[in-house]
Amino acid sequence: MAWFKRDNPPMARGAEHKVKVPEGLWTKCVSCNETIYTKDIESNLNVCPKCGHHYRISTKKRIELLIDEGTFTEFDAGMVSVDFLEFKDSKSYQDRIDQALAKGGSKDAIVCGSGKIDGTPVQLCVFDFSFMGGSMGSVVGEKITRGIERALEQGTPCIIVSASGGARMQESILSLMQMAKTSAALAKLREAGLPFVSILTDPTTGGVTASFAMLGDVNMAEPKALIGFAGPRVIEQTIRQKLPQGFQRSEYLLDHGMVDVIVERSKMKAQLSSILKMLYKAA
């Protein structure tokens, strides 16, 4: 028998970790645990003003952040995925597509268009993680490839902002082939001497990392983004070892020579603009 008896159950922990991007009035930061006025995070580009933790931001905000006001033209906005394999797990792929579409945001996991960055014309592709985890199927691969081909035709640089769990399983072999297709298009861009900047944000994994995202002339990452080929859980299960501190985070990749530079969100446009102006002279 215990000497001291606990009347109340121990306080539940971990629930606060589930609080994600600001919904309520106050937000407890997942990184520093400070309680912060939600509007303060939002007005700070979804970055915690106390500790600098980068929350995900919408494609719309990302485009506003990078592209000169009024210069963005979207392409292929109406392209949608089809359930050509009639793929079904607990739900059919078609149901998942419909559900994602019902949110009323992007029509697939990427938004592509042209615009200017401090006057430099670019083709820009921005992943939408809120659409099926930013997974890459035929639509994502096709829109990226068209984006790269437009850059080729117009002789401009290309920029891809990644946030993706990888290839979309529901399109099986064809989603795998998007890796080859996009990388082949980048090979042409490279031969034409046009810059490609890959911006890696949280999270960038799987088939997206193992194709265009790692092929930047310059690979830029946001702080502490998860970036890797295999997911941490898969690795842990395979090797049955604890993973090192900070494993697969931007800083870790920088240390191991896989990204060129880590840039805070607020400085992203200025940094990008400066790199583009040094690499690229408009014809």
Partner 1 sequence: MALQQSYLDFEKPLAELDKKIQELLAFSTEGVDLSAEVANLEEKAERMRQEMFANLSRWQTAQVARHINRPFTLDYLSLIFTEFVELHGDRNFGDDHAIVGGLARLDGEPVMVIGHQKGRDTKEKVFRNFGMPNPEGYRKALRLMEMAERFKLPIITFVDTPGAFPGIGAEERGQAEAIARNLREMSRLTVPIIVVITGEGGSGGALAIAVGDRILMLQHSVYAVISPEGCAAILWSDGTKGAQAAEALKLTAKDIKDLEVIDEIVPEPAGGAHRDHEAMAKNLHEALSRNLKELKAIPAEELIEQRYQKFRKMSRFAE
Enumerate binding residues for partner 1 (CB under 8 A): 76, 78-82, 84-85, 87-90, 137-139, 141-142, 145, 167-169, 171-181, 183-188, 190-191, 206-207, 209-215, 228-230, 234-235, 238-239, 241, 243-244, 247-248, 256-258
What is the enclosing helix (H) or strand (E) of 187? helix 172-191
Only one residue has tokens 């597509």, namely 97
Nearer to partner 1, 7 or 191 (CB): 191
Quote the least distance from Cβ 107 to partner 1, whole Å.
9
Quote the least distance from Cβ 178 to partner 1, whole Å.
7
Provide the H-helix boundaries in 114-169: 138-154
Distance CA 280, CA 192 (A): 12
Nearer to partner 1, 82 or 282 (CB): 82
Nearer to partner 1, 215 or 262 (CB): 215
Give the dihedral sign, CA 267/272/278/281.
Answer: negative
Distance CA 200, CA 202 (A): 7
- Find out whether 137 and 174 touch, Cβ atoms under 8 Å: yes
Quickly count: other Cβ atoms within 10 Å of residue 248's Cβ: 21
Find residue 252's DSSP bridge partners. none
Nearer to partner 1, 41 or 218 (CB): 218
Quote the least distance from Cβ 197 to partner 1, whole Å.
15
Nearer to partner 1, 136 or 272 (CB): 136
Quote the least distance from Cβ 227 to partner 1, whole Å.
8
Only one residue has tokens 């931001």, namely 57
Quote the least distance from Cβ 170 to partner 1, whole Å.
8
Nearest Cα to Cα of residue 197 among 144, 276, 269 = 276
Distance CA 56, CA 143 (A): 22
How many Cα atoms occupy the beta-carbon half-sphere of 234 within 13 Å?
Answer: 7
Quote the least distance from Cβ 123 to partner 1, whole Å.
17
Quote the least distance from Cβ 122 to partner 1, whole Å.
20
Distance CA 155, CA 114 (A): 12
Quickly count: other Cβ atoms within 10 Å of residue 240's Cβ: 7
Nearer to partner 1, 41 or 148 (CB): 148
Nearer to partner 1, 120 or 250 (CB): 250
